[in-house]
Structure 1
Amino acid sequence: MRLANSRAVFTALLFTLSSPLQAGEVQVAVAANFTAPMQAIAQAFERHSGHQVVAAYGATGQLYAQMQHGAPFDLFLSADASTPAKLEAQGQGVRGSRFTYAIGRLVLWSATPGYLDGSDAVLKANQFRYLAIADPKTAPYGLAATQVLAQLGLTEAVQNKLVTGQSIGKALHFVASGNAELGFVAMSQVYQDGQLKSGSAWVVPAALHAPIKQDAVLLEKGADNPAAAAFLTFLQGEQATKIIQSYGYSR
């Protein structure tokens, strides 16, 4: 009994102390659309806490598959709400830890300035060779892109022009490299502080697709990790919120 009590006290102390003397590491699986804000948040968190963040980026479905094969993640920042809920139901996510950290926006983007005029005109004209999207089976932003095409009545018209990337990061690469004239990407990839960083774009009206609600969840591996608990708290705080909003997300 004394040994059990001592271990309980020691665990409690780990959670309450967060100075560099108790610095730890948190491994985070992050949806590819959130790469840029996550990098900024991780830097701010490391300065604040002394803990180190090790992030792995990819499509939500790919990251989920890695978890089923034993990937050692403490936290999961998904691009949807359903995958974290499924992990929680399966006992792989800690109940009560799940929350919405961001609501994403979809953008049609071209690396060429002036190619898009801020509307869907180029998409409807259908004079391009290739349109990049993320895989709708594994990437929520890819699913949202197919919903937009369906709403606009363009699914069949562009079917043979689609270039599909495993993640939204790959879809961005197809367009940035010139392999596709345009593509559906996350706003966070091409905008910052409300300004388009390069190229030209059409910000897709939110009414054209289901809300891209992005949830985070603490995984069972991270349940006793003070660095993971500290990062979850930081992610919900004011400093992280400002970073998230600067990339075009809402909460």
Structure 2
Amino acid sequence: MGLIKSQIVLRHLCVTFIGILSFSAASVCHAEKPLHIAVASNFKSTLDVLAQHFTASTQIPIIISQGSSGQLFAQIENGAPYDLFFSADQARPKSLELLGLVFKNNDTSYRKTYGIGKLILWMKPNQKKRISEQIHIEINHLSASQYLKNLPPSEHPLRLSIANPNTAPYGIAAKSFLQNINLWPTLQKDIIRAQNVGQVFQHVQSGNSPLGILALSQLHYAKVNQQHYIAIPPQLHPAIIQQVVVLKSAPQRDQAMQFYQWLDQQSIRALIQQAGYSVPLK
């Protein structure tokens, strides 16, 4: 009798275990596979917010990989399995399109502008006050070019941090600004070239650099006081037109197209604008 009871109990346990396995397998099968999005560092914090909204409404999870636009472009060229790419420029999305790496449907390319970046000069809290006192200008009227041109000798060599102009669009814009105010020849040998604007933020925040040129959106999410940075006039650098593409090789193409179209909702455009970008007219 003991043997029979043991066999019955064992059979019951096996049936229960198989049922659990079947339920787990079904759950996995019905779970949405994640979208994998590559994003330029300046837009990472904004995309985090957008991803939360999208996942909450669709149950589609999102994995985000950040870097400079140039680094991510090279990864995509080499077959990285991203679904979408948010670049900090329009040049690389256009190049991907010419290479045949952007998804097209009925001759319509899935490439568009999602925002126009704004460049700022960020400094340690005591920097702007000291310079404004020296040149007798009210803090609110101190321009970025005035600030840099009137740095006292004690501030040289200037450890200004910018993103690498060879790989990062915000680095290109920063270099162009310094060239337009005739400071690039003087400052270039001492400039700290970061991999991307995310690293520029780290340099200034940690104190490794007293000054950095980066994206307004980064300071929006860090809740940096407006008195600690100066807007750089857009006429002093090339427009930072930022585009997104759905990649032809996207493993989750349908979900990628859904996210791409979702970006056009007015409420989502408003979130991008609030984060420190201009948005294109519809």
TM-score tier after normalising by the smaller chain length: 0.7 to 0.9
Q: Is the 8 A contact 1:191 1:197 kept in 2?
A: no
Instruction: Provide the alpha-carbon RMSD of the alignment.
Output: 2.0
Percent pairwise identity: 34
2:262 partner SS: helix
Aligned to 1:187: 216
**Residue 180 of structure 2 is aligned with which of 134, 151, 161?**
151
Aligned to 1:94: 103
Q: Is the 8 A contact 1:72 1:221 kept in 2?
A: yes
Note the residue ranges of structure 1 that are not aligned, 5 or more in a row. Answer: 1-20
Q: Deviations over 1:122-144 (max 9, x none)?
A: 21123433100000010000000
Cα distance in 2 for residues equivalent to 1:125 and 1:191? 27
Normalised by the length of structure 1, the TM-score is 0.86
- Would you say 1:219 and 2:228 are equivalent positions? no
- Would you say 1:178 and 2:210 are equivalent positions? no
Aligned to 2:47: 38
2:229 partner SS: strand
Aligned to 1:17: none
Cα distance in 1 for residues equivalent to 2:179 and 2:127? 25
Of Structure 1 and Structure 2, the greater helix share is in: 2
- Would you say 1:70 and 2:79 are equivalent positions? yes
Q: Deviations over 1:156-215 (max 9, x none)?
A: 1112220010111111111111011111010000125xx744761110000001100001
1:180 partner SS: coil
Spell out the pairing of 1:104-115 with structure 2 (5 A cutoff).
104-112=117-125, 115=128
Q: CA deviation at 1:150?
A: 0.6
Cα distance in 1 for residues equivalent to 2:188 and 2:99? 36
Runs of 4 or more consecutive aligned structure 1 residues displaced over 4 Å after TM superposition: 195-199
- Would you say 1:131 and 2:131 are equivalent positions? no
Cα distance in 2 for residues equivalent to 1:154 and 1:110? 17
What is the total number of aligned residue pairs between the two structures?
230
For the pair shown, the structure with the greater C-alpha radius of gyration is 2
Normalised by the length of structure 2, the TM-score is 0.77
The 10-residue stretch of structure 1 (152-161 or 129-138) with the greater mean CA deviation from structure 2? 152-161
Q: CA deviation at 1:71?
A: 1.0
Q: CA deviation at 1:98?
A: 0.4
Q: Is the 8 A contact 1:27 1:54 kept in 2?
A: yes
1:221 partner SS: coil
1:222 partner SS: coil
Q: CA deviation at 1:119?
A: 1.8
Q: Go from structure 1 to structure 2 and tell me whether the alpha carbon gap of 1:28 and 1:224 turns closer, same or farther (over 3 Å shift).
A: closer
Cα distance in 2 for residues equivalent to 1:233 and 1:163? 38
Note the residue ranges of structure 2 that are not aligned, 5 or more in a row. Answer: 1-29, 130-138
Aligned to 2:269: 241
Q: CA deviation at 1:238?
A: 1.9
- Would you say 1:202 and 2:230 are equivalent positions? yes
